[in-house]
Amino acid sequence: MAHASETFYVTTPIYYVNDKPHLGHVYTTMVADVVARYHRLRGDDTFFLTGVDEHAAKVSDKAAEHGLTPQQWADQNATAFRETFDKLEMTHDDFVRTSSEHHKQRVTQYIAALLNTGDVYPGTYEGWYDAGQEEYIPENKAKANDFKSEVNGKALVRKSEKNYFFKLSAYRDTLLEHFEANPTFVQPDARRNEIVNRIKEAQDVPISRTGSGGWGIPVPGDEEQTIYVWIDALFNYLTYVDTDDRRHYWQSGAVHFIAKDILWFHAAIWPAMLLALSKCDGYAWVNLPRQVYSHSYWVSASGEKMSKSLGNFLDPAAIDNYVNEFGLDALRYFLATRGPLGTTDSQFSSDLFADVYNSDLANTFGNSASRVTKMIGKYFDGKLPQTSDRYGANVPPEGEPALDPATAQAGASALIKSMTRISLEPGGIAGMFVVNQVDSYIEGTSPFKLAKDPAKLPEVGDILYNCAEALRIASVLLWPFIPDACEAFWKRIGCDYAEQMKANGGKGRLDEWVEWGQLEPGAPIEKGAPLFPRYQA
């Protein structure tokens, strides 16, 4: 049965523009891109948002080091992020810049509304501050970590300043109830408990700062205070869809992808701010996100988190090298299926990359596609063979290896199940499972041997028809992961899915496309160059 179109909204963190993008940023955006593409393929009305976070002190500090204004420095790096994501064919529907007028105006409105209800109020902050993360650290947490940053190990600084505060403590119970009623609100499960325990003790949080030199959004009615960069940044998820034509995306329940270092902001402060905003005049439509998915880190071979401040990241040039050597699909596939989506960190190793490329792409989809198209070229003059009556509804007789509608259904169900749980490794494997079935079927039926006897050509035709059909279905399932190769393959077998999606606002028809028997016998099948040439070091 066809899937009823849903609305789906997915976001990435917005990245600091103190420096250029690196592999960590590319990773989260790529994961969100795979998920967004999957939803579009299913026909969902999908909105995918990524972008940059500009009003940080580390941005203005870096700008000063380079003799530029914060805006000039932010402009340069925002361009670098945009170019990197464009080059990597990310399909975001908009790109956030927190210095945009629309964003600033909306944030000002939200804070004004919160000042009105008293959920934001003036006070004084006295405590610990992690300058690298621009984060206030509660006393117990600072002590537990020996007054050092949990992220970069640098000493925390003591701060005392006049601030506006957000009444987080007033939302503890509602947040805890929400966690209770929505067990998948924070994923993976293991991350939930640490947040729940911290919410139980949550105090009000400062949400403004002084001395930002005018870089940031002023607190409405108090120009000396700037809205704290984290609050400004979190609101991006709402400001960019707070327009008449986009509000329904927010209301469908956002899925936020982030890494574990910023979970507290997303799983506690952000939903509490939304609860507070929803009580303000005109904001009753504001609901909570569907899910906060907090992944782990890419770490270097020595186990350190890849980061800008540690200088051990894969930068855009290194990422380009992988793309040039293996292709963009290979980078996508590797990051999506071998990345730190779960609770353990992943090491990025070039040897593993090459192994995964050869085993999962060159030796499976790439090899199978060339084998099947080559045989169709050789035995049937490059035309998809007619299926004979012998196979009826393409179900092989007892005892012969199967490649049939059930294979396709198994692959499609595995993809849907995995993607619903945001398990990208099994999601990628779902398409590869169908490819593997094609390979075993070829081994079991040996069309290349049968073809030596002209009387057996109809049988060879049946076999190759089934192979081409199964590969077509595999390519639909694999499209979110390796879109370029799948689209190249579609051209070769005469499928216009890419054009259909384009003509239909990016939406596909996964359920229909995975139904068996859609390739037309007689259609030209082109062999073409290998989709994934084997890599030899």
- Which of residues 8, 27, 38, 322 is near ligand ME8 by CB under 6 A? 27
Which runs of consecutive H residues, i.e. helices, occur in 224-364? 229-234, 236-239, 247-251, 263-264, 270-278, 316-326, 328-338, 350-356
Residue whose CB is less far from ligand ME8, 28 or 373: 28
- Which of residues 49, 88, 113, 233 is near ligand ME8 by CB under 6 A? 233
**Per the structure block, which two tokens stand in for 88?**
């990597």
396 binds ligand ME8 (CB under 6 A): no
3-37 exposure pattern, b = at least 16 Cβ within 10 A, e = fewer:
eeeeebbbbbbbbbbbbbbbbbbbbbbbbbbbbbb
Secondary structure class of 94 (helix, strand, coil)? strand
CA quadruple 402, 405, 406, 408: dihedral sign: positive
**Per the structure block, which two tokens stand in for 481?**
């992961």
Binding part of the chain for ligand ME8, among 64-72, 297-305, 388-396, 488-496 by CB under 6 A, reads: 297-305
Provide the 10 A C-beta neighbour count for residue 288.
19
438 binds ligand ME8 (CB under 6 A): no
Say how many residues make up the chain. 537
- Cβ-proximal residues to 491 (8 Å cutoff; 6+ apart), any chain: 526
16 binds ligand ME8 (CB under 6 A): yes
- Interface size with ligand ME8, residues (CB under 6 A): 19
State the minimum distance, in angstroms, from the CB of residue 227 to ligand ME8.
13
258 binds ligand ME8 (CB under 6 A): yes
- Which of residues 8, 9, 10, 14 is near ligand ME8 by CB under 6 A? 14
State the minimum distance, in angstroms, from the CB of residue 234 to ligand ME8.
5
Provide the 10 A C-beta neighbour count for residue 169.
15
State the minimum distance, in angstroms, from the CB of residue 215 to ligand ME8.
15
Residue whose CB is less far from ligand ME8, 240 or 380: 240
Q: Among all chains, which residue has been given the structure tokens 């729940």?
A: 196
348 binds ligand ME8 (CB under 6 A): no
307 binds ligand ME8 (CB under 6 A): yes
Residue whose CB is less far from ligand ME8, 16 or 185: 16
32 binds ligand ME8 (CB under 6 A): no
State the minimum distance, in angstroms, from the CB of residue 158 to ligand ME8.
23
The DSSP annotation for 423-440 comes to -HHHHHHHHHHHHHHHHH
- Within 455-494, the residues that bind ligand ME8 by CB under 6 A are none
Q: Which residues bind ligand ME8 (CB under 6 A)?
A: 13-16, 24-25, 27-28, 53, 233-234, 258-259, 262, 297-298, 305-307
